[in-house]
């Protein structure tokens, strides 16, 4: 029995930000619920806290706004600083069939071979890779089941953050955000990274059952309308087992965008690659692929992912876009080519002084 995955638009789950904190003098975008540049006063569409944040005494004035040009510049810097990315000889992929827009929902396996022909697993011994992979078995698969975070798992979170912050890439990201008045010290930045990515919140019945890291990098399955065999498929892995695939809720899957996770699960025979609908213009890594696949009996129609980047690259770009453009498309430049990332904040609970957790982040393929 084959189960179709149905997806809720993130806009059905999360709302765009309605605050000017950190957004003063942002360029106008129709996607925004309210606006934070000087013209909003004339058009009467300012956010309610515009005068608190965007006047000279406010947190963010025009001199420390993150402009579209800033994002293009810093993303190119981060792209060049990804020294831990895969070399061309480290990965060989076999994209095989390219699906047309009319074919992505067909659930036909048009690619008989795995996506990954070869991966040099020596990559995984690098500190940021090794610490990232250790995090993947720390989560309950089922939504609504409260996470029991052990002392060892907290140490693994701290170790991952410590390792990524040693890299030139994350140091450049911090320097940029520090210059833009978002963080006063590296310690403050790291503490906020831990909260926004690893802080637990509830996606079901009040249980502290999810986090941004779990959703984005581990994936999420939402079971809906499944009968007998569908439920057995959804339970195919024991919750908390190594490389478990995220969470199960009402037969739908979201998240699961990370290439390392995909490779490891494809190697185990749990993920079956079907086709791709987009192959990015990059002739080296990181690249971007929009792909269709089945996972433990469920089908994902379109899932765009970086291929061959380091964990810190993906983690850093998503962090940048969540801080600079939450709830809207974040337009970047990598090696001279355009790329956009979408992030959404979790709006039902906050941490600290009203700060938002990451709900989701993903690459937007054309």
| Residues with catalytic roles | 215, 257, 300
As a whole number of angstroms, the distance between CA 159 and CA 135 comes to: 10
Phi, psi of 120 (to 5 degrees): -75, 100
Specify whether the CB–CB gap between 275 and 219 falls below 8 A.
no
Name, in order, each residue with C-beta under 8 angstroms of 293's C-beta and a sequence gap of 6 or more. 115, 262, 271, 272, 273, 274, 299, 300, 303
Name the DSSP class of 86: P
As a whole number of angstroms, the distance between CA 247 and CA 218 comes to: 8
As a whole number of angstroms, the distance between CA 270 and CA 274 comes to: 13
Beta partners for residue 292, in sequence order: 275
As a whole number of angstroms, the distance between CA 265 and CA 245 comes to: 9
Give the CA dihedral 349, 352, 186, 163, nearest 10 degrees. -40
Name, in order, each residue with C-beta under 8 angstroms of 311's C-beta and a sequence gap of 6 or more. 128, 129, 131, 132, 160, 164, 260
């Amino acid at each position: 029995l084959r189960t179709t995955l149905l997806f809720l638009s993130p806009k059905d789950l999360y709302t765009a930000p309605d605050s000017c904190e950190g957004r003063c003098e942002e360029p106008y975008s129709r996607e925004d619920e309210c606006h934070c540049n000087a013209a909003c006063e004339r058009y009467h569409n300012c956010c309610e806290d515009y005068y608190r944040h965007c006047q000279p005494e406010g947190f963010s004035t025009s001199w420390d706004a993150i402009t579209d040009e800033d994002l293009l510049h810093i993303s190119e810097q981060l792209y060049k600083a990804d020294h831990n990315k895969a070399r061309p000889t480290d990965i060989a992929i076999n994209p095989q069939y390219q699906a047309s827009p009319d074919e992505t929902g067909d659930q036909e396996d048009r690619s008989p071979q795995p996506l990954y022909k070869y991966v040099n697993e020596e990559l995984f011994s690098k500190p940021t890779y090794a610490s990232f992979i250790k995090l993947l078995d720390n989560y309950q698969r089922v939504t609504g089941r409260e996470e029991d975070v052990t002392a060892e798992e907290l140490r693994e979170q701290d170790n991952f953050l410590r390792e990524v912050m040693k890299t030139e890439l994350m140091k450049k990201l911090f320097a940029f955000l520090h210059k833009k008045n978002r963080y006063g010290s590296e310690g403050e930045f790291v503490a906020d990274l831990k909260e926004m990515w690893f802080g637990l919140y509830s996606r079901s019945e009040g249980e502290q059952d999810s986090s941004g890291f779990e959703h984005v990098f581990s994936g999420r399955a939402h079971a809906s309308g499944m009968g007998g065999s569908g439920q057995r498929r959804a339970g195919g892995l024991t919750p908390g087992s190594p490389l478990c695939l995220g969470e199960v809720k009402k037969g739908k899957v979201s998240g699961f965008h990370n290439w390392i996770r995909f490779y490891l699960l494809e190697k185990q025979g749990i993920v079956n690659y079907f086709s791709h609908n987009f192959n990015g213009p990059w002739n080296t890594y990181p690249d971007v692929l929009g792909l269709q696949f089945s996972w433990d009996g469920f089908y994902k129609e379109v899932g765009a992912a970086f291929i061959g980047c380091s964990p810190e690259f993906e983690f850093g770009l998503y962090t940048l876009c969540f801080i600079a453009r939450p709830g809207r498309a974040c337009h970047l430049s990598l090696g001279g080519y355009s790329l956009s990332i979408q992030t959404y904040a979790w709006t039902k609970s906050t941490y600290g002084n009203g700060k938002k957790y990451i709900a989701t982040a993903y690459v937007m393929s054309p």
